[in-house]
Chain A
Amino acid sequence: MSQVQWLRSENFQRMLWPLMALVGILLFNFFFTPGFFHIEIKDGRFFGSLVDIANRAAPVMLLAIGMTLVFATGGVDLSVGAVMAISGAIAATVIRPDYVKGVLEYGEVQSLFLVLSIPLFFSLLAGLWNGLLVAVIGIQPIIATLILMVAGRGIAQLITQGQIVVFIHEPFQYIGSGFLFGLPFPIILVLLTFTVTYLLTRRTGLGLFIEAIGANSIASRFMGIRERMITLSVYIFSGFCAGLAGLIVCADIKAADANNAGLFLELDAIAAVIIGGTMWGGRFTVFGSIVGTLIIQSLTTTILTRGVAPEVTLVFKAFVIILVALIQSEKFRQLFSNRMAGEKVRTS
Chain B
Amino acid sequence: MKKWLQIIACTLFACMMTAGSALAKDKIVVGFSQIGAESAWRVANTDSIVSEAKSRPHIELKFSDAQQKQENQIKAIRSFISQGVDVIAFSPVVETGWEPVLKEAKRAKIPVILSDRAVDVQDDTLWVTFMGSDFVEEGRRAGNWLMENYDRLKNPDKSSDVVNVVELQGTVGSAPAIDRKDGFAEVTKGSAFKIIKSQSGDFTRAKGKEVMEAFLKSEGKKIDVLYAHNDDMALGAIQAIEEYGLNPGKDIIIVSIDAVRGAFEAMVEGKINCTVECSPLLGPQLFDAVEDLMAGKELPKRIVTNEGVFPAETAAETLPTRKY
What is A's interface to B at a CB cutoff of 8 Å? 33, 35, 42, 48-49, 52, 56, 157, 161-164, 166, 177, 249, 252-255, 257, 259-261, 300-301, 303-307, 310-311, 313-314
Contacts and interface: CB of A to CB of B under 8 A. Distances in A.
A33 B217 CA distance: 11
Contacts of A259: 38-39
B217 A35 contact: yes
B236 A253 contact: yes
B232 interface: yes
Given A255-B205, A259-B39, A310-B199, A301 B214 contact: yes
A252 B209 contact: yes
A257 B200 CA distance: 18
The B contact surface, by secondary structure, is helix
B199 A260 contact: no
Contacts of B296: none
A52 B236 CA distance: 15
Given A254-B239, A310-B172, A164 B209 contact: no
A252 B200 CA distance: 19
Contacts of B209: 252-253
A44 to B, nearest CB: 13
Nearest to A158: B37
A52 B206 contact: no
Nearest to A33: B218
A163 B245 CA distance: 30
A48 B172 CA distance: 27
A252 B217 contact: no
Contacts, number: 81
B217 A311 contact: no
A33 to B, nearest CB: 8
Contacts of A314: 172
Nearest to B265: A166
A310 B42 CA distance: 26
B197 A307 contact: yes
A33 B173 CA distance: 28
B10 interface: no
A167 to B, nearest CB: 11
A102 B61 CA distance: 25
6 contacts: A49-B214, A56-B210, A162-B39, A164-B232, A310-B169, A311-B173
Contacts of B215: 304
B78 to A, nearest CB: 25
Contacts of B245: 42
Contacts of A310: 169, 172, 198-200
B164 to A, nearest CB: 13
Given A42-B245, A177-B239, A310-B169, 16 more contacts: A33-B218, A49-B214, A52-B217, A164-B40, A164-B232, A252-B209, A252-B239, A255-B205, A260-B203, A303-B199, A304-B199, A304-B210, A305-B217, A307-B197, A313-B199, A313-B200
Interface residues of B, number: 34
A196 B38 CA distance: 38
B52 interface: no
Contacts of A313: 172, 199-200
Q: What are the 7 A-B residue pairs with the smallest beta carbon separation, nearest first?
A: A304-B214, A310-B200, A260-B204, A253-B205, A162-B37, A305-B218, A162-B43
A80 to B, nearest CB: 16
Nearest to A310: B200
Contacts of B232: 164, 257
A163 B204 contact: no
Nearest to B210: A56
Interface string B43-75: 100000000000000000000000000000000
Given A42-B245, A52-B217, A163-B40, A311 B205 contact: no
Interface in B230-288: 232, 235-236, 239, 243, 245, 262
B165 interface: no
A49 B206 CA distance: 17
Contacts of B197: 307
A208 to B, nearest CB: 38
Contacts of B210: 56, 300, 304
Contacts of B235: 255
Contacts of B43: 161-163
Contacts of A249: 206
B38 A164 contact: no
A164 B260 CA distance: 11
A259 B43 CA distance: 13
A35 B215 CA distance: 12
B213 interface: yes
Nearest to A312: B172
Nearest to B243: A177
A260 B206 contact: yes
Contacts of B38: 162, 259
A157 B65 CA distance: 15
Nearest to B200: A310
A164 B262 contact: yes
Contacts of A253: 205-206, 209, 236, 239
B172 A162 contact: no
B77 to A, nearest CB: 23
Nearest to A302: B214
Contacts of B207: 260
B179 interface: no
A254 B39 CA distance: 17
Contacts of A306: 218
B43 to A, nearest CB: 5
B312 interface: no
A261 B218 CA distance: 26
A257 B205 contact: yes
Contacts of B213: 52, 56
Contacts of B217: 35, 48-49, 52, 305
